């Protein structure tokens, strides 16, 4: 951490203090955790379908590149160029969202994944 920035422990303590002192904040925090649990649980349940859909999309993209007379290599280079441009936008946005927003959702997501794996 840079000098003058609060540590993760300070941020977590602020979240806990806010939840203990503000019932609305505590309710929102609980809802975010429950949404994360549902997201994690249903993601694991739907994982095989998601993998199949991604595979079908990949096959379709490969066939489209072939139909346009492109080589797979030139298609990969084009996708790489787009990914590099998106990275320059996505990284600052991800940093901006931060621990306060994604923390409860991530905790709930992990709990949901564990529950889904245990039930399977």
What tens digit of pLDDT does each residue of 25-79 get?
Answer: 888 888 888 998 988 888 888 887 888 888 888 888 777 766 666 666 776 777 7
The total of other beta-carbon atoms located within 10 Å of residue 110's CB is 13
How confident is the model over 71-109, as pLDDT tens digits?
667 767 777 887 788 787 777 766 666 655 667 777 888
| Position 89 in a domain | yes
| Position 47 in a domain | yes
Q: Total structural domains in the chain?
A: 1
Answer for the pair 20, 26: CB distance below 8 angstroms, yes or no.
yes
| Position 35 in a domain | yes
- The predicted pLDDT at position 20 comes to 86
Residue 4: pLDDT over 70: no
Residue 2: pLDDT over 60: no
Radius of gyration for the alpha carbons in the chain, expressed in angstroms and rounded: 21
| Position 1 in a domain | no
| Position 115 in a domain | yes
Sign of CA dihedral 4, 9, 10, 12: positive
| Position 2 in a domain | no
Please name which of 41, 30, 8, 16 lies closest in space to residue 110, comparing C-alpha atoms: 41
Domain interval for residue 46: 8-119
| Position 78 in a domain | yes
Please name which of 54, 55, 46, 22 lies closest in space to residue 116, comparing C-alpha atoms: 46
Q: Which residue has the higher pLDDT, 1 or 48?
A: 48
- The predicted pLDDT at position 39 comes to 87
Angle, helices 72-119/23-67, rounded to nearest 10 degrees: 140
């Amino acid at each position: 951490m840079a000098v003058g920035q609060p540590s993760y422990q300070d941020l977590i303590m602020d979240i806990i203090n806010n939840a203990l002192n503000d019932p609305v904040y505590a309710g929102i925090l609980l809802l975010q955790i429950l949404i994360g649990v549902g997201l994690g649980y249903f993601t694991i349940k739907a994982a095989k379908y998601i993998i199949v859909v991604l595979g079908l999309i990949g096959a379709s993209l490969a066939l489209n590149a072939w139909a346009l007379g492109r080589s797979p290599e030139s298609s990969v280079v084009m996708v790489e160029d787009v990914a590099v441009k998106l990275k320059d936008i996505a990284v600052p946005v991800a940093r901006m969202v931060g621990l306060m927003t994604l923390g409860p959702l991530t905790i709930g997501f992990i709990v949901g994944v564990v529950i889904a794996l245990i039930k399977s």
